[in-house]
A and B are shown apart, each in its own frame.
Chain A
Amino acid sequence: MSLKILAVDDSKTIRMIVKKAFKTYDCEIIEAENGKEGLETASREKPDLIVLDITMPVMAGPEMLAELKKDPALKEIPVIMLTAESGKENVIQILKMGVKDYMVKPFKGEQLIERVTKVVTLESKQKEDEDTSKKYFSTVEDVQVLALPQKLNRPTCLEIERHFKSKVEEMVNSGLKKFILNIAKVGGANVTLIRLIIMVIQTCQKASIGIRIVGTAALSEELKGFSETSEVTIDLSIEDAKGAL
């Protein structure tokens, strides 16, 4: 069953970082911009966990927490506080408020997940993960093919990178030794694409997997403009790449 997590922070940036941290887990993230909105949302949605900022306009985190604790229907909801202040007095005060844990900013998404898993049980979006993997990866005879989408932004790239690493592991275990990176659909060369290409080439070489790249003539020209990929050979079809492997 999907967990409901309420992120209360006046900063959209922090709410986005929280949302991103839970992306691979079976969670629904609901947001509120201040304590007042947070209380209303908590009453309505009954979340399984609240990630609550301290300093906010309209109603600050400690006030919202005090109100939560007064409400029999909400007082048991675990709360993890976010604070930019790591001072001793501040930490003691936070713990006295009855929160489950606290997180000092700056923090990485994985650090937040680590704290959260001590409070609630998170489950991976396994099914979705498998579907995503199928979207990019396919096997043609004895060749593993990774076909990149037209729009390659950083989150997509990170997702592909994650799947790619497990695919390489699978290939090593099963003895598959041929890999094709198909970039033909990618709209244009950018830094994200260059980084991904380099990462794929280096990982394959390290695992002793043969690698070829399939693309268009235009992309081949564009890649020559980047020092990192100026020497990379582009095949113009899967057949050509298979033949060269």
Chain B
Amino acid sequence: MSDINAVDLRGFISGAMNEVFDTMISMDIELTDGGVQADVQGERIVGSVGFAGKAVGSVSIQVNDAFARSITAAMLGMELDEIEGDEDVHDVIGELSNMVGGDLKSRLCDGGLDCELSIPSIITGSDFKTEIKGWERHESLVFRHQEDGYVLKNISG
């Protein structure tokens, strides 16, 4: 395998997301058909890691502010009102994107697409949109937790 188009990106990311959410947060998430992207709107946080080498691209995880705080509380074993500030939330979302990106990177390397992973970066705000241009391949996956939590996952390569 040496072509990003031959990689089962959706399968890899879906598996990694489920494992990360289950292991670190004990939270069930399910892959939806993508029809709820509008729910990741308003004040939101994007955690991204890039990979570069024989495969070049980025993995980003986007959640709204309220769900990001629920994830943070669950991951750090605390109540919502015990979260000290945005720094904790950003760190958790960054770490989640790092874990999912790390898993994808490992699978790409095992498949002959050697690459290196960057450290995570965070974008926050409400008035922005993500446009994907010029990449050979782009996948966008939406995961849902119960009724209120949505995670949008973008992978470009």
Which of chain B's residues have a CB closer than 8 A to the CB of A17?
24, 75-76
A88/B110 in contact, CB under 8 A: yes
The answer to whether A85 touches B88, judged by C-beta atoms less than 8 angstroms apart, is no
State how many residues of chain A have any CB contact under 8 Å with chain B. 29
Stretch at the interface among A153-161, A220-228, A233-241: A153-161
Residues on B with C-beta less than 8 A from A153 are 78-79, 82
Asked whether any CB of chain A lies closer than 8 Å to the CB of B103, the reply is yes
Say if the beta carbon of A192 comes within 8 Å of chain B: yes
Given contacts A14-B95, A55-B119, contact A107 B105 (CB under 8 A): no
Q: What is the CA–CA distance of A89 and B78 in the complex, to the nearest angstrom?
A: 37
Q: Which residues of B contact A20 (CB under 8 A)?
A: 77
Q: Would you give the shortest CB distance from A108 to chain B, in whole angstroms?
A: 6
Contact bitstring A136-177, B, C-beta under 8 A = 1, else 0 = 000000000000000001110010000000000000000000
Closest Cβ–Cβ distance, residue A97 to chain B (whole Å): 17
Question: Hey, which chain A residues are within 8 Å of B79, CB to CB?
Answer: 153-154, 190, 192
By the criterion CB–CB under 8 Å, are A85 and B77 in contact? Answer: no
Name the prevailing secondary structure of the B interface residues: helix
Cβ-defined contact, B19 with A106, below 8 A: yes
Task: Judge whether A230 is part of the interface by a CB distance below 8 angstroms.
Answer: no
Size band of the interface chain B makes with A: 20 to 34
Q: Are A84 and B19 neighbours in the complex by a CB distance under 8 Å?
A: no
B99 / chain A contacts, CB cutoff of 8 Å: 84, 105-106
* A87-B110, A88-B110, A106-B19 given; A13·B75 CB < 8 A: yes
Selected from A56, A57, A106, A190, the residue in CB contact (under 8 A) with B20 is A106
Docked Cα-Cα span, A55 to B102, in Å, equals 10
B20 / chain A contacts, CB cutoff of 8 Å:
106
Given contacts A11-B95, A13-B95, A16-B76, contact A85 B106 (CB under 8 A): yes
Cβ of A208 under 8 Å from chain B:
no
Q: Is the CB of B82 within 8 A of A86?
A: no
Determine the chain A residues whose CB is within 8 A of the CB of B109 once the complex forms. Answer: 85, 87-90
**Assembled-state Cα–Cα distance A94/B106 (Å):** 14
Contact flag A11-B94 (CB < 8 Å), given A84-B102, A105-B99, A108-B23: yes
A90–B51 Cα gap in the complex (Å)? Answer: 15
Query: Is the pair A84, B77 in contact by a Cβ cutoff of 8 Å?
Result: no
B residues apposed to A, CB below 8 Å: 19-20, 23-24, 73, 75-79, 82, 87-88, 91-92, 94-95, 98-99, 101-103, 105-107, 109-110, 114, 117, 119
Q: List 14 A-B contacts (CB under 8 A).
A: A11-B98, A13-B88, A16-B76, A20-B77, A84-B99, A84-B102, A85-B106, A86-B102, A87-B106, A90-B106, A90-B109, A106-B23, A106-B99, A154-B79
